[in-house]
Amino acid sequence: MRVITLQIKNQEKICGGAYQKYMELIDGFLCRGWEVHHISPRRFSNIKHKNLIHHEFFDISIVPSFISVFIQTFIIMACFRQKRNMDAVVTFSPLEGLIGTIFKIFSKKTKLIVAFHSDSISGIELGMKNTIKKNIYKKILQTIEASVIKKSDLVIFVSEYDREHILKRYKIENISATKVIYNNINTPRIKELNKEFALNVRKYKKVIGFVGNLHENGKGLKYLLESFYNVKQILPNSTLVIVGIGPDLQKLKTLTSRLNLDNDVVFLGFQENPLRYMKSFNLMVLPSLHEAFPLVILEALYIKIPVIASNVGGIPEILKYDKLMFESKNVSELTAKILLLLQDEKEYKQALELCEERRKKFIFDWQERMVNEIKNICRLNQYLEI
């Protein structure tokens, strides 16, 4: 089976949930003997395999950069059409999916499968402050998303929330060409990272932790810092450890200083293996304002540490129980949840038991489920071995 995969940007280090899962899926194709034609900028190095053919394009600095990518990628794909038939184009974003919809015009037998691992429109609404720019970006992306969803042979969502929310946005009622496939926790990457020894980030008895991109709005870190300030008044022997990088790092450090927490909040920056630090957390908190299906929660479940998170997006589909969730932006509720778990051993033990129950729900072969859906849509099940 021959598939095309697309990536507008390469990453030297595999990070970010969507990129991790895309590389994992490509690896799944290759392990099953599929021929993968991966199109991305020069010097792609994340995967090396005899069945992976990398077709590189130049990352030209023009605005908007997508125009250059679109032209170069389409030329590459047009050459495919002249030489051989492709069974499927598999992408992990609507922008790359747009290229696939154009390719399908000239290669009608090729199936297009697009996996949504986030809600880009919600991200724009929370992340952009310039109203004019925000509205322009939203309009463009909404037009692209609607077209891609309608023209795809299969759209895979990472949560029921995203499927319902995004299809409703475009008034799409037919969901027969859509599937929901949750992320899993028994991934090769998590297993490998978990082999390393834990690091004690501090000598404090109570360690509250956060892992993720440092976006003040999207990740709700402002509310976590304000909650931690309240917690410190009652549990002075506690610390907050923040693992990650992002555009709002300095803003968050400024807020930390304003709350007089410089000696109590540790910013560790990007860590290739965050699990080494997470193992020392007494409690992990994810106070996001929007999420699709965050891998970091699954990672916390995998290493068996209690985690609480805001009840937004696909998070309730992971954690399920009210005891493990709180209302986003609600500082008082978050403060109360943290204090309850760190002060009451019975409540803490119950949270661990609930997290363990949820952990078992996400131990499955994600690669196999994805590959089977793609094989089904290409109608080649009878010819391919699982």
Q: Are 86 and 127 in contact (CB under 8 A)?
A: no
Q: Are 223 and 293 in contact (CB under 8 A)?
A: no
Q: Are 118 and 135 in contact (CB under 8 A)?
A: no
The residue with tokens 């002075």 is 236
> What's the CA gap between 116 and 3, in Å, rounded?
18
H runs (alpha helix) in the chain:
17-31, 65-83, 94-106, 120-127, 131-151, 160-169, 188-193, 216-219, 221-234, 249-258, 275-278, 295-302, 315-319, 331-343, 345-361, 366-378
Residue 58 is encoded by which pair of tokens?
A: 């130049």
Q: Output the CA angle 362-367-373, nearest 5 degrees.
A: 105
Q: Which domains are seen in the chain, by residue range?
A: 2-184+364-383 (3.40.50.2000), 190-361 (3.40.50.2000)
> What's the CA gap between 291 and 314, in Å, rounded?
6
What is the pTM assigned to this prediction?
0.89
The residue with tokens 């492709």 is 86
Q: Are 238 and 204 in contact (CB under 8 A)?
A: yes
Torsion of CA 49, 55, 61, 67, to 10 degrees: -130
State residue 385's pLDDT score.
Answer: 40
What is the per-residue burial (b if ≥16 Cβ within 10 Å, else e) of 237-267?
A: ebbbbbbbebebbeebeebbeebebeebbbe
Per-residue confidence in pLDDT tens, the chain, 386 aa: 899 999 888 887 766 778 889 999 999 999 999 999 999 998 898 899 999 999 998 877 665 667 788 888 888 887 876 667 889 999 998 889 999 998 888 888 899 999 998 888 887 777 677 788 888 888 988 999 999 999 999 999 999 999 999 999 998 877 778 999 999 998 888 888 888 888 877 666 799 999 999 987 789 999 999 999 999 999 999 999 999 998 899 999 999 999 999 999 999 999 989 999 999 999 999 999 989 899 999 999 999 999 999 999 999 999 999 999 999 999 999 999 999 999 999 999 999 999 999 999 999 999 999 999 999 998 753 344 44
State residue 81's pLDDT score.
Answer: 64
State residue 204's pLDDT score.
Answer: 67
Burial class, 221, CB count within 10 angstroms (exposed 0-12 / middle 13-18 / buried 19+): buried
> What's the CA gap between 115 and 148, in Å, rounded?
11
